[in-house]
Amino acid sequence: MKKILSSGLPGRRWLSIGPPFLWLALFLLLPFLLVLKISFAELKFGIPPYTPLAELKDQTVTLALSLRGYALLFTDSLYIATYLNSVKMAAVTTLCCALIGYPMAYYIARSHPSVRNLLLLGVILPFWTSLLLRVYAWVGILRNDGLLNNLLQWLGLISEPLEIYRTDLAVYIGLVYAYLPFFVLPLYATLVKLDIRLLEAAYDLGARPWRAFFSVTLPLSMPGVIAGAMLVFIPSVGEYVIPEMLGGANTLMMGRVMWTEFFNNADWPMAAAVTCVMVMMLLVPLVIFQYNQIRQLEQQRGKTQ
């Protein structure tokens, strides 16, 4: 039945898939191919600041692929350290978001429906202000003479101001703060759909609350955890604004390196190479995410049959 519908109406199918497909091809795939092209070019002074890949001269086409950027990336320890550090910071951020976000999502999902929307609104509310402004606010809080230090000193808990601003800790605080909603929302959506009777069945069969949580709620909410983790991890790796504004000079993150190469050194091919390697690295978790979603869909389909 499904086959007849989809094969019988190819026009309609193309109509629904076509526009987003075209959009992605035009504004995602094409720019990425341009970046990929630039990453194989040579640095040159002028406009554009890089050499063309293929040249037609004396009726011969010469194709020149420069691997300078990639060679530098994989040999210069600074770049390798930056990549590793970005991944580490994104991973720690994701873990912190999971530890803080899971109880939040659980509490919201289990709260009374009338309170639930209010709590959800609280999670979404920060999006009404620009991220830049909110990160600026964190500067004001974390600075040596900022709100936090003043408060702690006023309370007499510390005598010297804590060095948080311009450290990795400040970047972690900023990242967790900014990306927490992206973890909470998909997890909430999974938890709120979870059949409460499954939990009751676990209690009924003798499972204490914590055992019931670990053997029923947690495994059944894994799709939400994975979705949330991906939404936090992927943008965190390439984050620029937060490490730039809160991090110290030695906070190494890819976004900053890209910025430096592109704007300070005007080395477009190098910046492009940094970008391409990062995209490749992110493809791995993206594929896991996609696989997870497909599997979930298949399970749901199995359930309805």
Partner 1 sequence: MLDNRSAAPSWSGDADEFVRVEEVVKIFGDTVAVQSVNLSVRRHEVFALLGSSGCGKSTLLRMLAGFEEVTSGRIYLDNEDITALPPYRRPVNMMFQSYALFPHMTVEANVAFGLKQEGVPRNEIHERVFEALDLVQMAGFARRKPHQMSGGQQQRVALARSLVKRPKLLLLDEPMSALDKQIRQKTQIELAKILEQVGVTCIMVTHDQEEAMTMAHRLAVMTEGQIVQCGTPHDVYAFPNSRFVAGFIGSTNLFTGTIVVDEPDHVLIESAELTRPLYVNHGVSEPLGMEVHVSIRPENIRVLREQPEAESNWGHGMVSHVAWMGSYARYQVRLDAGQVIEANVPSLVLAQADAPGLDDEVYVAWSNDSATVLPS
Residues in touch with partner 1 (CB under 8 A)? 195, 197-198, 200-208, 211-212, 215-216, 219-220, 299, 302-303, 305
H runs (alpha helix) in the chain: 2-8, 10-24, 30-39, 68-75, 77-110, 113-124, 131-142, 147-154, 168-193, 196-204, 209-212, 218-237, 241-246, 254-259, 268-304
Output 137 or 198, the one with its CB closest to partner 1. 198
Q: How far is the CB of 116 from partner 1 (least distance, A)?
A: 18
Which are the contacts of 55, defined by CB distance < 8 A and separation ≥ 6?
Answer: 61, 62, 64
Residues in the chain: 305
Output 263 or 291, the one with its CB closest to partner 1. 291
Q: How far is the CB of 213 from partner 1 (least distance, A)?
A: 13
Output 290 or 299, the one with its CB closest to partner 1. 299
Q: How far is the CB of 225 from partner 1 (least distance, A)?
A: 14
Q: How far is the CB of 201 from partner 1 (least distance, A)?
A: 4
Our CA angle for 186, 187, 192, nearest 5°, is: 105
What whole-number distance in Å separates Cα of residue 216 and Cα of residue 219?
6
Q: How far is the CB of 202 from partner 1 (least distance, A)?
A: 7
Output 103 or 219, the one with its CB closest to partner 1. 219
Distance of CA 76 to the CA centre of its chain: 26
| Residue 61, H or E segment | strand 60-63
Output 45 or 210, the one with its CB closest to partner 1. 210
What whole-number distance in Å separates Cα of residue 172 and Cα of residue 160?
22
Q: How far is the CB of 3 from partner 1 (least distance, A)?
A: 22
Output 57 or 208, the one with its CB closest to partner 1. 208
Q: How far is the CB of 80 from partner 1 (least distance, A)?
A: 40
User: Which residues does residue 60 pair with via DSSP β-bridges, in sequence order?
Assistant: 57
Distance of CA 278 to the CA centre of its chain: 12
DSSP for residue 213: I
Output 15 or 196, the one with its CB closest to partner 1. 196
Tell me which residue of 229, 252, 110 sits closest to 167, measured CA to CA: 252
